[in-house]
Each structure stands twice: as structure tokens, then as C-alpha cells.
Amino acid sequence: MATGTEPHLKSGQDSGGVRAATRAAISAAHLRTDRWWLAPAATAAGLFAFIVYSTWRAFANADYYAAPYVSPFYSPCLAENCEPMRSGPNWEIFGSWWGLSPALLILIFPLGFRLTCYYYRKAYYRGFWASPPACAVAEPHKKYSGETRFPLILQNIHRYFFYAAVPVAGILTYDTVLSFRDEHYEWGHMGLGTLVFLVNIVLIWAYTLSCHSCRHIVGGKLKHFSKHPVRYRMWQWVGKLNARHMLLAWASLVSVALADFYVYLIASGVFDDPRLF
């Protein structure tokens, strides 16, 4: 939209950003003296490590089930080539034609949820795309259209991934309940893996419910909170979680990877699950 605020550009001149002709003549892209690069570098390193690990595990198609534990990367298991899991989340929706790892069928939903998450967007825009690398540090791109065009306009479907993430978290809750069995499927037992699954599912739910779209859906969209006291309460509750969304995003990312790694270690015979009772 034309706003009447004319950009201070001469014809044919590069926009220049902080080096534009009318701005204070300072050649440096930034004058920050603190370690501004540390946060985006650590973020990029953390996300890259998770991408490498999860890619390996998602394509491995092995060592994802050790009774009574199923890896969260493979739950629910929707293809015929899944390992049999007694009372487990096996639904052969995709039949026998699916020959790839069954993890790929389900991971698209949590992946989409995290990829379009408002926190992760900040993290990878800064960490991977340097847009911007840090506050008041000039970005290297000549043009910027933000989330106004394809493909980044698709970030607007975040709420649909939230809708998908809720049943996925529900199924992981079911897996956690199943982990109160022993390796012979007898109920009333608990191992170290049960604790790992419990911590993971608490963090997964906390991250899912702290989502900005969830906050909007439960009450943020209202104009009059006073007319909807229950939704107002829910909005306040989600708001408290939402204030820790970044922390929960990282904690749940680490916990889901650890839960998968724990199952991998048990399934590949590195050690036996220590039983508590």
C-alpha cells in the first residue's frame, strides 16, 4: 500500500539499510561490542544437531521398539512394516505399499508444528538465515519481504499443525501409560524408561499448550474477556505457559530426542532397562 512516506532513495541506488545516504555516515554494519553472535550460533548449533540426529533416526527404520517402550519418533506407527507392538499404537492405515520408514508418516506433523512455531521461527530466522542475526546487527540480504510471500506466507497455517500436534501428544501420553508394563506386558511395573517417558510427555504437553495459536484459540481472539470467564481463565493459564515457550521448546526438543535415544539403546541391546518395581 502506498502510504505517502517516501523512501529516501535516489533512483538506481541500493537501499543500503543503515548505510543509506540520509542516515548517519557510519561504515560499520553494527557497533555492538558484546558477544551478540553467541545466541544465534548456539541456536543454530543446537537445531543442527537435532536435525542430524532426528534424520538419522527417522530413516533408520530399526531399533525403535523394546517392550514396553516405543520411540516417540515412531508413534503412532501407521504402516504394515511396523514392528508389532502389543496394545501399542499400531494402525496399519498405510498398508503394505509403504516401504520407507514409518517414522516419516508421523513426523511430518510435529515437524510442521515446530517449523511454523513462533519461537522456532525467531530461532531459525536469526540462527540460519541471519534475518537479522541479532538486534541492530545489519542483515546480509539486499531484499526482504518477510512472511508476505510464498513460501513463508505458509507460516500462517501454524494453528493447523497445532490441531495435529494435540492428538499426537495424546498418543504419546498413551505410550507413556503403556510404559507402566514390564517387558512381558504385565501391568503395574515401572522402569527408568517410564521416568524418561513421563518427563518427556509432561514437556511435550507443556510445549504444545504454551503455543501462541493455542493461546489465541482458547481466549486470545475474544474482545470481551468479562463475558467468557472460563475462557479468560484458560487464556491466563496458557499465557503463563506461553511466557516460557522458548524454554519449553528447547526442553521438549531435548526430551523427545532423549526418549528416542533411550529406546534405541534398549532396543539395540546396549543395556537392559533398569526396573524400579
* Residue 223 binds to other proteins (criterion: CB under 8 A): yes
Among 41, 95, 146, 167, binds other proteins (CB under 8 A): 146
Among 94, 109, 225, 261, binds other proteins (CB under 8 A): 225
Closest-CA residue to 41 (of 139, 156, 147, 123): 123
Mind giving me the DSSP string for 168-185? Answer: HHHHHHHHHHHTTB-TT-
Angle at 132 between CA 144 and CA 44, to 5 degrees: 120
Residue 46 or 220: which CB sits closer to other proteins?
220
* Residue 3 binds to other proteins (criterion: CB under 8 A): yes
Subset of 33-62 contacting other proteins (CB under 8 A): 33-34
Q: Minimum distance from CB of 85 to other proteins (Å)?
A: 34
Q: Which stretch binds other proteins (CB under 8 A): 69-77, 104-112, 152-160, 188-196?
A: 152-160
Q: Which stretch binds other proteins (CB under 8 A): 69-77, 118-126, 182-190, 197-205?
A: 118-126
* Residue 189 binds to other proteins (criterion: CB under 8 A): no
8 Å CB contact between 113 and 165: yes
Evaluate the CA torsion angle 141, 144, 149, 153 in order and state its sign. Answer: positive
Among 12, 25, 99, 151, binds other proteins (CB under 8 A): 25
* Residue 268 binds to other proteins (criterion: CB under 8 A): no
Subset of 242-261 contacting other proteins (CB under 8 A): 242-243
Q: Minimum distance from CB of 190 to other proteins (Å)?
A: 38
8 Å CB contact between 207 and 248: yes
Q: How far is it, in rounded angstroms, from Cα 201 to Cα 259? A: 10
> Residue 65 pairs with which residues in a beta bridge?
70
Q: Which three cell numbers stand for residue 48?
A: 543442527
Strand spans (E) along the chain? 65-66, 69-70
Among 41, 45, 56, 122, binds other proteins (CB under 8 A): 122
> Residue 77 pairs with which residues in a beta bridge?
90
* Residue 156 binds to other proteins (criterion: CB under 8 A): yes
Q: How far is it, in rounded angstroms, from Cα 224 to Cα 226? A: 5
CB atoms within 10 A of CB 59: 12
Among 41, 136, 167, 185, binds other proteins (CB under 8 A): 136
Q: How far is it, in rounded angstroms, from Cα 98 to Cα 135? A: 46
Which residues are at the interface with other proteins (CB under 8 A)? Answer: 1-9, 15-18, 20-26, 30-34, 118, 121-122, 125-126, 131-132, 135-139, 141, 143-148, 152-153, 156-159, 212-213, 215-216, 220-221, 223-226, 232, 242-243
